[in-house]
Amino acid sequence: MRYGLSTTFALALVASAFATPSQPSPRQTNPFTTTPITDFDEPWSLAFLPDNRILVTEKRGQLRLVDPTTKAKGTITGVPSVAYGGQGGFGDVALHPNFAENNLVYISYAESGTGGAGAAVARAKLVLNTSGGGALQGLEVIWRQSQKVSATGHYSHRILFDGNSTMWISSGERQAFDPAQAMTSNLGKILRLNDDGTVPAGNPFTGTPGSQVWALGVRNPLGIAFDEQGRLWEVEMGPMGGDEINLIEKGANYGWPIVSQGDHYDGKAIPRHSTRPEFAAPKAWWTPVISPSSLIIYKGSLFSSWKGNAIISSLGALGLVRVEISGTTAREVQRISLGKRTRCVREGPDGALWVLEDGAGGRLLKLTPR
Ligand SMILES: *[C@@H]1O[C@H](CO)[C@@H](O)[C@H](O)[C@H]1NC(C)=O
Ligand SMILES: *[C@@H]1O[C@H](CO)[C@@H](O)[C@H](O)[C@H]1NC(C)=O
């Protein structure tokens, strides 16, 4: 057994974890004072600079720089051309943990090539000018999905750094199903890489690209975040039903597309997790779905009772879903409607929540306690 548990104990855990899906929590009064900052053309992700200005990606391929105090919006040039369409385009943006010294910014995006499109991650130096704009310089592509496919969904391509400057990438299965189980592909995987894209010591698998892989069998993992204990959590969109929050463990297989708490869109059934306890089961799951688009684990003190909770931005629930994490269990405790499909949530340096609405005209909102 992967977890060193007795099979009987593991089966009992699986059975109790899968009695029912997460219930939508009761509607509560909106706890936020909402400050709209500015709007964007299909914003996708954001990252705070040390001076509290904010980089925002727009799916068609623009990188914006926003000063939340003046609400001024500038442009950063030098973004590579992106394969815009379906779920594809410009994706994530993250700063190197030593950004203050090296000015390195990491971006993910869909790129075109033989066979269709695939996600790529590049890094570049961010050089700012005094008029609220700037440029990416010396851009180098340091990672690519191992195959390009004609589908335009499930890139996922979130980028996350841990305290050791190790880079984590969530790589979706590109609507191709089986590659999520194949070590000849890095699709449908959670990857652990050095900050230059090379493979660090300590990963559980070998080969190319298998040595990049930390965990496998994921579908469309649009959110990854560490908790205070250094555990990695992930949210992913399931098929028809079965959105998941998973605790990502070294070498674990999360079972897609062999098992799921949802079924195929054409109605064809997929066996449930309870039938195959060798696959790591989600800590909570949603049917009907919430369509999780990003994840943070709250660490601030502005919303003091939320410390350690997972906050999920949700397209389907039109707002945020708050999940209480206790040890290795997870349970939805609050659903907060913001009235719009929500593309990204991030915690600001002051503990405020910053949210990007989805789609054309999507706004950047600052949420503070009411
Ligand atoms: C600052 O950068 C932006 C984007 O590259 C550019 O449009 C603008 O002209 C620059 N301003 C100056 C003063 O260089
Ligand atoms: C960072 O490295 C240390 C020492 O190898 C390790 O104990 C720790 O778990 C690592 N942190 C993360 C988030 O991987």
217 close to 251: Cβ distance less than 8 angstroms: no
pLDDT band at 11 (very low <50, low <70, confident <90, very high): very low
49 Cα to the center of ligand 1, angstroms: 18
Q: Which residue has the higher pLDDT, 196 or 9?
A: 196
Q: Does a cis peptide bond (omega within 30 degrees of 0) precede residue 209?
A: yes
- Which residue has its alpha carbon closest to ligand 2 atom 10? 164
Residue range 109-119, pLDDT digits in tens: 999 999 999 99
Q: Exposed/middle/buried for 126, CB within 10 Å: 0-12, 13-18, 19+?
A: buried
Residue 9 has a pLDDT of: 40
Three-state SS sequence of 37-98: EEEEECEEEEEECCCCCEEEEECCCEEEEECCCCCCEEEEECCCCCCCECCECEEEEEECCC
Please check the confidence at residue 8 and state whether its pLDDT lies above 50: no
- Which residue has its alpha carbon closest to ligand 1 atom 10? 133
Residue 6 has a pLDDT of: 38
- Residues classed as catalytic: 154
Residue range 20-59, pLDDT digits in tens: 778 777 666 789 999 999 999 999 999 999 999 999 999 9
Please check the confidence at residue 15 and state whether its pLDDT lies above 60: no
Residue range 127-180, pLDDT digits in tens: 999 999 999 999 999 999 999 999 999 999 999 999 999 999 999 999 999 999
Please check the confidence at residue 14 and state whether its pLDDT lies above 50: no
Strand pairing partners for 322? 311, 334
Distance between alpha carbon 151 and the CA centroid of its chain, in Å?
20
Residue range 254-311, pLDDT digits in tens: 999 999 999 999 999 999 999 999 999 999 999 999 999 999 999 999 999 999 999 9
Going 210 to 224 to 67 to 342, the CA torsion angle's sign is: positive
Q: Is 150 in the pocket of ligand 1 (CB under 6 A)?
A: no
pTM of the model: 0.94
Q: Where are the domains of the chain?
A: 32-369
CATH number for 32-369 (one of 3.20.20.220, 1.20.1250.20, 2.120.10.30, 3.40.47.10): it is 2.120.10.30
339 Cα to the center of ligand 2, angstroms: 40
110 close to 45: Cβ distance less than 8 angstroms: no
